Amino acid sequence: MTNDSVRPALDGTTIRPVRTGESEAEAALIVRAFAAGPYGHLPKGAERAAFEADTAGRAADGAVLVAVDAEGGVVGTASVLRASSRYSRVARPGEAEVRLISVDPGAQGSGLGAALTRASLEEALGWGAAALVLDTGTRNLRAQALYERLGFERDAERDAAVGADVDSLAYRYPLQRREDVVVRLMRADEADAVAELVESAYAADFELNPRYRADIVAVAERARAHQVWVAADAATGELLGTATTPRAGATMSPVAHAGELDFRFLGVAPAARRRGIGETLVRHVLALARLRGIDRVVLNTGPDMLGAQRLYDRLGFTRLHEREYRFVRPDGSGFQMLAYGRDAGVDAA
């Protein structure tokens, strides 16, 4: 959720990065939310008060996400922090941490806390973080139930006493499947390299007509509307593969129906083939669907992309014959565009 991207939440509420002029409202919301919680009766130290008030500092350490209602009011917030930054408390190198997940007392119980947590997971995923971690007080039973329902795992090694009257429980949500490959959002200065990668990936399998080639290499333009993901070698940073997904709440192609996630432009650098990069990227899309609470992933592919078809078959995708159509070229020739789909489900190892 970078570059001020907006995602729908509940009943006209949207989640996006905090904007200039909202810091005071965001900090005040945190105070109200925590006062209504299980630790609201305890005195607040100066260090904690300064942390809550420092919206700009938390944003500089990562990202401050806010939930904004239809009237523009801030009704929720979460701070996603990079490991080793000043406000990170339990994250280890390579991880991200979420703190101060807060919902206005009048909106609690609406599911907004879950939406903010999902948005925080996606933010950390975009950074390429190995995991998102957090801690919460032992008395905060509602929060514990939420994190466990969303798939966080208890990490007892990081449990700690936060204060004289507060013991914390730590949770961790793994975001990367492999130690040797990191999947993250493309950086702006990588657009040309990704365009070269995806063009070479497609050209290795079949001849590209000028129109399709132009569509494939329009990576910078694509990133303005959608999410361009890259798989990079964890040791060297070399770009190995790419895939594009829509931003939350949107679709990229007619193949996707309401409540589904589609993806396009899956490509693996020719030199990186046989390393499982294509499978890693497809499983990444399935994981992204689960983060968003989406049940199904769908896609189109051409009849010549036999390697991709074998990959989809192996990963449990099935043909959606009713969604297939004939693609007609400007010269009148054409081919049958294939459609595949799979429930996001629980990913297998």
Provide the residue ranges of all domains of the chain, joining segments of one domain with +: 7-174, 181-343
Helix (H, G, I), strand (E, B) or coil at 67: strand
Rounded to an integer, the average pLDDT of 184-209 is 92
Quote the tokens at residue 193: 């390299």
What is the pLDDT at residue 302? 87
Q: Are 239 and 187 in contact (CB under 8 A)?
A: no
Which residue, chain included where needed, has tokens 């997971």? 121
Do 7-174 and 181-343 have matching folds? yes
Domain 7-174: which CATH class? Answer: alpha beta
Query: Residues 12, 28, 19, CA angle at the centre, nearest 5°?
Result: 55
What is the pLDDT at residue 209? 81
Rounded to an integer, the average pLDDT of 5-31 is 91
Among the residue ranges 6-20, 103-117, 131-145, 146-160, the one predicted with the least confidence is 6-20
Rounded to an integer, the average pLDDT of 176-183 is 97
Question: How does residue 305 score in pLDDT terms, banded at 50, 70 and 90?
Answer: confident
User: pLDDT above 90 covers what percent of the chain?
Assistant: 82
Options 3.40.630.30, 3.50.50.60, 3.40.50.1970, 3.40.30.10; CATH of 181-343: 3.40.630.30
Among the residue ranges 7-21, 51-65, 103-117, the one predicted with the least confidence is 7-21
Task: With a cut of 80, say whether residue 293 has pLDDT above it.
Answer: yes
Instruction: Quote the mean pLDDT of the chain.
Output: 93
Could you tell me the sign of the dihedral formed by the alpha carbons of 255, 261, 264, 269, in that order? negative
Q: What is the pLDDT of residues 224-252, one digit of tens each?
A: 999 999 999 999 999 999 999 999 999 99
Task: With a cut of 80, say whether residue 64 has pLDDT above it.
Answer: yes
Among the residue ranges 97-101, 110-114, 304-308, the one predicted with the least confidence is 304-308
Backbone angles phi, psi at 217, to 5 degrees: -85, 0
What is the pLDDT at residue 333? 72
Say what angle helices 277-291 and 306-314 make with each other, to 10 degrees: 50
* Gap between the Cα atoms of 178 and 288, Å rounded: 16
Q: What is the DSSP letter of 262?
A: E
Q: What is the DSSP letter of 193?
A: H
Query: Residues 144, 146, 147, CA angle at the centre, nearest 5°?
Result: 70
Task: With a cut of 70, say whether residue 1 has pLDDT above it.
Answer: no
The pTM for the full model equals 0.93
Q: Which residues contact 63 (CB under 8 A, 6 or more apart)?
A: 1, 2, 17, 79, 80, 123
What is the pLDDT at residue 349? 46
Q: Give 115 or 210, the one with higher predicted confidence.
A: 115
What is the pLDDT at residue 309? 95
Say what angle helices 277-291 and 112-127 make with each other, to 10 degrees: 160
What is the pLDDT at residue 345? 85
